[in-house]
Amino acid sequence: MIGLDILAIVFSATEDEVVLAALEAAVGHDDHAAALLVELLPRSVYVGSSLVVPEIWPEIVARLQSDFAAERLRLENRCAACAPPIEVRTLKATLEDVAAAASEAARYADLVVMRRPDFAHWQSYRANVFEAVLFGSGRPVLVVPPHWETGALANHVVIGWAPRREAARALHDALPFLVRAERITILSVTSRGEHEDEGPHAAADAAAHLARKGIRATVLTVHARGGDEGEVLLREACAIGGDLLVIGGYGKSRIREFVLGGVTRTLTQTSLLPVLLSH
């Protein structure tokens, strides 16, 4: 199998340590790994306004450049200690342009790794970058919880299955992890009686598809019984010892997901496991 080109998007070597740890765990023998460090550029539009005195603007820029150089050095030292070493790149962009720039950079990778954004503030730049990459890059995104207990990744892969396009895409994008996994569970959460719901039958079809590739998977169906499907999926994935959750991202419209909630939003906000998302 051709090796993966894996890209981690980081804003801080310290704050994004879980991203680097997940990148180390995800990279295989034939894969290439790179960490893209984002440098947020100041906007000179503020010069001359009441916010910034023009005379001190060069000092502000010099301080930001010095801080970024120190951050890049910390990241380079961290990545050099990895086996194999991780390449370090830089993405320079203003706060207004960073989401689009990150999405464009992600198109030239097979998999993108990011820390889970904070959705508490809807203008969070991490959230903006995450959604831009997920929707605009055409690449799967591995989202790592900020307090992930680093260790095993993809020894037991849990596939949150629903008979939808996004789930089929996620199943395909997860294949590099599935071929290395010790255990795979295709988990179908249904809110109706089994005889009324195609989910369990579709999950069996997904398992048969993997079997034709020589990949063995177990099918498990859980009834939501009126609960939030995302919470049920996450609870069951943790209960059976999963260490990577695979789902299709945003089956509904983005606005409807934001207002009403949904499986994607629940998992990207609360999951204690790394989540592989495809859209």
Q: What is the pLDDT of residue 43?
A: 73
* Whole-angstrom distance, CA of residue 123 vs CA of residue 139: 23
Within a domain: 58:
yes
Structural contact between residues 218 and 200, judged by C-beta atoms closer than 8 angstroms = no
Whole-angstrom CA distances from 141 to 49, 83, 84 are: 40, 22, 22
Strand-strand pairing, 275-278 and 141-144: antiparallel
Within a domain: 149:
no
Which residues, 6 or more positions from 164, have their beta carbon under 8 angstroms from its beta carbon?
A: 248, 251
Q: What is the pLDDT of residue 250?
A: 62
- List the structure tokens of 115: 């820390």
pLDDT over 90 percentage in the chain? 55
pTM attached to this predicted model: 0.87
* Whole-angstrom distance, CA of residue 164 vs CA of residue 185: 18
* Whole-angstrom distance, CA of residue 89 vs CA of residue 41: 16
- Domain extent, residue 137, equals 5-144
Indicate whether 168 and 229 sit together in one domain: yes
Which among 144, 167, 187 is the end of a domain? 144
* Whole-angstrom distance, CA of residue 158 vs CA of residue 154: 9
* Whole-angstrom distance, CA of residue 11 vs CA of residue 182: 33
* Whole-angstrom distance, CA of residue 234 vs CA of residue 275: 10
In the DSSP assignment, the letter for residue 194 is: G
- Cα 254 to chain centroid distance, Å, stands at 17
Within a domain: 150:
no
Structural contact between residues 247 and 170, judged by C-beta atoms closer than 8 angstroms = yes
Which among 144, 166, 187 is the end of a domain? 144
Q: What is the pLDDT of residue 64?
A: 86
Whole-angstrom CA distances from 135 to 43, 115, 139, 256 are: 26, 16, 8, 15
Indicate whether 193 and 123 sit together in one domain: no
Q: What is the pLDDT of residue 98?
A: 95
Task: Work out how many domains the chain is built from and give that number.
Answer: 2
Q: What is the pLDDT of residue 117?
A: 83
Indicate whether 138 and 168 sit together in one domain: no
Q: What is the pLDDT of residue 152?
A: 82
Q: What is the pLDDT of residue 271?
A: 84
Q: What is the pLDDT of residue 83?
A: 81
State which residues of the chain have pLDDT below 50.
Answer: 194-196, 252-253, 255-261
Indicate whether 84 and 43 sit together in one domain: yes
Indicate whether 136 and 10 sit together in one domain: yes
Q: What is the pLDDT of residue 259?
A: 34
Whole-angstrom CA distances from 207 to 11, 30, 187, 201, 203 are: 38, 27, 10, 10, 6
- List the structure tokens of 103: 């999405």
Residue 263: exposed, middle, or buried by beta-carbon count in 10 A (0-12, 13-18, 19+)? Answer: buried
Within a domain: 188:
yes
- List the structure tokens of 49: 């306004």
Element (H, E) at 269: helix 263-270
Within a domain: 259:
yes
